[in-house]
Amino acid sequence: MAPRTPIPIVSVDPSKRPLEQKQPLHNRWHPEIPPVGEVKEGDLFRVETIDWTAGQIKDSDTAEDMKAVDLTQVHYLSGPIRCCDERGVPAKPGDILTVEILNLGPLAGDEWGFCGVFDRDNGGGFLTDHFPDASKAIWDFDGIYCTSRHIPGVRFAGITHPGLIGTAPSAELLKIWNDRERGLHDADPDSVTLASCLHTRPMAQPPNPSGACLGKIGQGPDWDRIAFEAARTIPGRENGGNCDIKNLTRGSKVHFPVFVEGANLSMGDMHFSQGDGEVSFCGAIEMSGWLELKISIIRGGMEEYLTPMGPTKLHVNPIFEISPLQPMYSEWLVFEGISVDERGRQHYLDASVAYKRAVLNCIDYLSKFGYSKQQVYMLLSCCPCEGRISGIVDIPNACATLAIPVAIFDQDIRPNKTGLPVGPRLVSKGQAPTARYTGSLETFQNPATKAPGT
Amino acid sequence: MAPRTPIPIVSVDPSKRPLEQKQPLHNRWHPEIPPVGEVKEGDLFRVETIDWTAGQIKDSDTAEDMKAVDLTQVHYLSGPIRCCDERGVPAKPGDILTVEILNLGPLAGDEWGFCGVFDRDNGGGFLTDHFPDASKAIWDFDGIYCTSRHIPGVRFAGITHPGLIGTAPSAELLKIWNDRERGLHDADPDSVTLASCLHTRPMAQPPNPSGACLGKIGQGPDWDRIAFEAARTIPGRENGGNCDIKNLTRGSKVHFPVFVEGANLSMGDMHFSQGDGEVSFCGAIEMSGWLELKISIIRGGMEEYLTPMGPTKLHVNPIFEISPLQPMYSEWLVFEGISVDERGRQHYLDASVAYKRAVLNCIDYLSKFGYSKQQVYMLLSCCPCEGRISGIVDIPNACATLAIPVAIFDQDIRPNKTGLPVGPRLVSKGQAPTARYTGSLETFQNPATKAPGT
Amino acid sequence: MAPRTPIPIVSVDPSKRPLEQKQPLHNRWHPEIPPVGEVKEGDLFRVETIDWTAGQIKDSDTAEDMKAVDLTQVHYLSGPIRCCDERGVPAKPGDILTVEILNLGPLAGDEWGFCGVFDRDNGGGFLTDHFPDASKAIWDFDGIYCTSRHIPGVRFAGITHPGLIGTAPSAELLKIWNDRERGLHDADPDSVTLASCLHTRPMAQPPNPSGACLGKIGQGPDWDRIAFEAARTIPGRENGGNCDIKNLTRGSKVHFPVFVEGANLSMGDMHFSQGDGEVSFCGAIEMSGWLELKISIIRGGMEEYLTPMGPTKLHVNPIFEISPLQPMYSEWLVFEGISVDERGRQHYLDASVAYKRAVLNCIDYLSKFGYSKQQVYMLLSCCPCEGRISGIVDIPNACATLAIPVAIFDQDIRPNKTGLPVGPRLVSKGQAPTARYTGSLETFQNPATKAPGT
Amino acid sequence: MAPRTPIPIVSVDPSKRPLEQKQPLHNRWHPEIPPVGEVKEGDLFRVETIDWTAGQIKDSDTAEDMKAVDLTQVHYLSGPIRCCDERGVPAKPGDILTVEILNLGPLAGDEWGFCGVFDRDNGGGFLTDHFPDASKAIWDFDGIYCTSRHIPGVRFAGITHPGLIGTAPSAELLKIWNDRERGLHDADPDSVTLASCLHTRPMAQPPNPSGACLGKIGQGPDWDRIAFEAARTIPGRENGGNCDIKNLTRGSKVHFPVFVEGANLSMGDMHFSQGDGEVSFCGAIEMSGWLELKISIIRGGMEEYLTPMGPTKLHVNPIFEISPLQPMYSEWLVFEGISVDERGRQHYLDASVAYKRAVLNCIDYLSKFGYSKQQVYMLLSCCPCEGRISGIVDIPNACATLAIPVAIFDQDIRPNKTGLPVGPRLVSKGQAPTARYTGSLETFQNPATKAPGT
User: What proportion of chain D, given as a percentage, has pLDDT over 90?
Assistant: 78
pLDDT of A63-111, one tens digit each?
999 999 999 999 999 999 999 999 999 999 999 999 999 999 999 999 9
Identify all chain B residues contacting C6, using CB atoms and an 8 Å cutoff.
Answer: 111
pLDDT of B249-273, one tens digit each?
999 999 999 999 999 999 999 999 9
H-type alpha helices, C187-250: 193-198, 221-229
Identify all chain B residues contacting C110, using CB atoms and an 8 Å cutoff.
Answer: 3, 5
If one compares D428 and D262, the residue with the highest pLDDT of the two is: D262
Residue spans in chain B of domains classed CATH 3.10.28: 332-424
Cβ of D329 and B329 within 8 Å? no
pLDDT of A442 higher than 80: no
Query: Would you tell me how many other CB atoms lie within 10 Å of the CB of residue A363?
Result: 25
Residue type, B277: G
pLDDT of A448 higher than 90: no
Residue type, C149: R
Averaged over B181-199, what is the pLDDT? 74
Please tell me the distance in Å from B6's CA to the nearest CA on chain D.
Answer: 32
Residue type, B202: P
Cβ of D157 and A324 within 8 Å? yes
Interface residues of D toward A, Cβ cutoff 8 Å, are 1-6, 44, 59, 100-103, 105, 108-112, 138, 140-145, 157, 250-251, 292, 294, 324-329, 407
> Which range has the top average pLDDT, B42-51, B322-331, D178-187?
B42-51
Identify all chain C residues contacting D238, using CB atoms and an 8 Å cutoff.
Answer: 338
Residuewise pLDDT in 10s, chain C (454 residues): 567 899 999 999 999 999 899 999 999 999 999 999 999 999 999 999 999 999 999 999 999 999 999 999 999 999 999 999 999 999 999 999 999 999 999 999 999 999 999 999 999 999 999 999 999 999 999 999 999 999 999 999 999 999 999 999 999 999 999 999 998 888 766 656 666 667 778 888 999 999 999 999 999 999 999 999 999 999 999 999 998 899 999 999 999 999 999 999 999 999 999 999 999 999 999 999 999 999 999 999 999 999 888 888 999 999 999 988 888 888 999 999 999 988 888 888 999 999 999 999 999 999 999 999 999 999 999 999 999 999 999 999 999 999 999 999 999 999 988 888 764 444 445 678 877 443 333 323 333 333 333 3
pLDDT of A363-389, one tens digit each?
999 999 999 999 999 999 999 999 999
What dihedral angle (degrees, nearest 10) is formed by the CA atoms of D106, D111, D117, D122? -70
Please tell me the distance in Å from B144's CA to the nearest CA on chain C.
Answer: 6
Which among A301, A320, A349 has the least Cβ separation from residue B334?
A320
Please tell me the distance in Å from B227's CA to the nearest CA on chain C.
Answer: 35
Query: Would you tell me how many other CB atoms lie within 10 Å of the CB of residue C350?
Result: 32
pLDDT of B84-119, one tens digit each?
999 999 999 999 999 999 999 999 999 999 999 999
Q: CA of B411: which chain D residue's CA is closest? A: D412
What dihedral angle (degrees, nearest 10) is formed by the CA atoms of C407, C410, C415, C420? -170
Per-residue pLDDT, B454 = 31
**Best to test chain A binding among B165, B281, B355, B392 (most A CBs inside 10 Å):** B392
Residue spans in chain C of domains classed CATH 2.60.120.580: 7-321
Which among D277, D307, D332 has the least Cβ separation from residue C391?
D277
Cα D345 from Cα D453, distance rounded (Å): 9
Confidence of residue B2 (pLDDT cuts 50, 70, 90): low
ipTM exceeding cut-off 0.85 for this assembly: yes
CB-based contact B265:B295 (threshold 8 Å):
yes
pLDDT of D53-67, one tens digit each?
999 999 999 999 999
**CATH of the structural domain B332-424, one choice from 1.20.120, 3.10.28, 3.30.310, 3.30.420:** 3.10.28
Cβ of D320 and C298 within 8 Å? no
- Which chains share 3+ C-beta pairs under 8 angstroms with B? A, C, D
Which among C1, C143, C250 has the least Cβ separation from residue B102?
C143
**Phi-psi domain of D281 (left: phi exceeds 0; alpha: psi -120 through 50; beta: other):** left
**Phi-psi domain of C88 (left: phi exceeds 0; alpha: psi -120 through 50; beta: other):** left
Alpha-carbon distances, residue B121 vs A84, B373, B412 (angstroms): 51, 20, 37
pLDDT of A6 higher than 90: yes
In the predicted model, what is the mean pLDDT of chain B? Answer: 90
Cβ of A351 and B352 within 8 Å? yes
Per-residue pLDDT, C445 = 34
CB-based contact B77:B54 (threshold 8 Å):
no
In the predicted model, what is the mean pLDDT of chain D? Answer: 90
Cα C167 from Cα C262, distance rounded (Å): 9
Closest CA to D282 of D160, D205, D378: D378
In chain A, % helix, strand, coil (3-state, to 5) comes to 20, 30, 55
If one compares B385 and A418, the residue with the highest pLDDT of the two is: B385
Q: Could you give the angle at which helices D373-382 and D351-366 cross, rounded to 10 degrees?
A: 120
Cβ of A327 and C327 within 8 Å? no
- Which chains share 3+ C-beta pairs under 8 angstroms with A? B, C, D
Per-residue pLDDT, D191 = 60
Cα C133 from Cα C115, distance rounded (Å): 14
Per-residue pLDDT, A310 = 85
Radius of gyration of chain D measured on its C-alpha atoms: 22
Confidence of residue D446 (pLDDT cuts 50, 70, 90): very low
Q: What is the 3-state secondary structure (H, E, C) of C259-302?
A: CCCCCCEEEEEEECCCCCECCCEEEEEECCEEEEEEEEEECCHH
Confidence of residue B198 (pLDDT cuts 50, 70, 90): confident
Per-residue pLDDT, C424 = 44
Per-residue pLDDT, D376 = 96
Identify all chain A residues contacting C330, using CB atoms and an 8 Å cutoff.
Answer: 327-330, 407
What dihedral angle (degrees, nearest 10) is formed by the CA atoms of C443, C445, C450, C452? 100
Cβ of B349 and A347 within 8 Å? no
Q: CA of D346: which chain C residue's CA is closest? A: C180
Query: Would you tell me how many other CB atoms lie within 10 Å of the CB of residue B55?
Result: 15
Cβ of D328 and B327 within 8 Å? no
pLDDT of A229-270, one tens digit each?
999 999 999 999 998 899 999 999 999 999 999 999 999 999
Cα A240 from Cα A316, distance rounded (Å): 9
Identify all chain C residues contacting D86, using CB atoms and an 8 Å cutoff.
Answer: none
Count of A–C CB contacts within 8 Å? 14
Cα B103 from Cα B325, distance rounded (Å): 11
Classify the C-alpha dihedral D49-D55-D60-D62 as positive or negative: negative
Cβ of D329 and B330 within 8 Å? yes
Query: Which range (A438-442, B125-129, C390-394) has the least confidence?
Result: A438-442
Per-residue pLDDT, C454 = 31
Cα A398 from Cα A390, distance rounded (Å): 8
Interface residues of B toward D, Cβ cutoff 8 Å, are 327-331, 407
Identify all chain D residues contacting C311, using CB atoms and an 8 Å cutoff.
Answer: 448-449
Per-residue pLDDT, B191 = 60
User: To 5 degrees, how large is the angle CA C390–CA C391–CA C392?
Assistant: 125
- Beta bridge partners of residue D277, listed in sequence order: C391
Which among C1, C157, C324 has the least Cβ separation from residue B251?
C157
Per-residue pLDDT, C242 = 94
- Beta bridge partners of residue B100, listed in sequence order: B253, B294
pLDDT of A149 higher than 50: yes
**ω before A424 within 30° of 0 (cis)?**
no
Cβ of C328 and A330 within 8 Å? yes
User: To 5 degrees, how large is the angle CA B302–CA B307–CA B310?
Assistant: 110
Interface residues of C toward B, Cβ cutoff 8 Å, are 1-6, 44, 59, 100-103, 105, 108-112, 138, 140-145, 157, 250-251, 292, 294, 324-329, 407
Which among A3, A251, A328 has the least Cβ separation from residue D326?
A328
Cα A439 from Cα D123, distance rounded (Å): 76
CATH code for the structural domain at B7-321: 2.60.120.580
Per-residue pLDDT, D140 = 95
Cβ of C3 and B326 within 8 Å? no
Query: Do β-strands D96-105 and A156-157 pair in parallel, antiparallel, or remain unpaired?
Result: unpaired
Identify all chain B residues contacting D331, using CB atoms and an 8 Å cutoff.
Answer: 407
C403 phi and psi, to 5 degrees? -110, 130
Cβ of D328 and A325 within 8 Å? yes
Cβ of C387 and D389 within 8 Å? yes
Q: DSSP assignment, residue C81? A: E
Cβ of C328 and A328 within 8 Å? yes
Per-residue pLDDT, C149 = 94
CB-based contact B305:A415 (threshold 8 Å):
yes
Query: Would you tell me how many other CB atoms lie within 10 Å of the CB of residue A326?
Result: 20
Query: Would you tell me how many other CB atoms lie within 10 Å of the CB of residue A87?
Result: 7
Confidence of residue D324 (pLDDT cuts 50, 70, 90): confident
Cβ of C328 and A327 within 8 Å? no
Confidence of residue A421 (pLDDT cuts 50, 70, 90): confident
Interface residues of A toward D, Cβ cutoff 8 Å, are 1-6, 44, 59, 100-103, 105, 108-112, 138, 140-145, 157, 250-251, 292, 294, 324-329, 407
Query: Do β-strands D77-84 and D37-40 pair in parallel, antiparallel, or remain unpaired?
Result: parallel
- A32-35, long-range: CB < 8 A, 24+ apart: A32/A217, A32/A222, A32/A226, A33/A80, A33/A168, A33/A214, A33/A215, A33/A216, A33/A217, A33/A226, A33/A230, A33/A264, A34/A80, A34/A215, A34/A216, A34/A217, A35/A79, A35/A80, A35/A81, A35/A82, A35/A262, A35/A264
Averaged over D31-45, what is the pLDDT? 97
Per-residue pLDDT, A67 = 95
pLDDT of A274-295, one tens digit each?
999 999 999 999 999 999 999 9
**Best to test chain B binding among D144, D325, D330 (most B CBs inside 10 Å):** D330
Closest CA to A362 of A425, A449, A275: A275
Cβ of D328 and B330 within 8 Å? yes
In the predicted model, what is the mean pLDDT of chain A? Answer: 90
Confidence of residue D189 (pLDDT cuts 50, 70, 90): low
Residue type, B366: L
Cα C215 from Cα C211, distance rounded (Å): 13
Which among D110, D157, D250 has the least Cβ separation from residue A143?
D250
- Beta bridge partners of residue C332, listed in sequence order: C405, D322
Q: Which residues contact residue C121 at a Cβ distance below 8 angstroms, ignoring those fewer than 6 apart?
A: C439
Please tell me the distance in Å from B414's CA to the nearest CA on chain C.
Answer: 20
Please tell me the distance in Å from C114's CA to the nearest CA on chain B.
Answer: 12
pLDDT of A319-340, one tens digit each?
999 988 888 888 999 999 999 9
Please tell me the distance in Å from D420's CA to the nearest CA on chain A.
Answer: 28
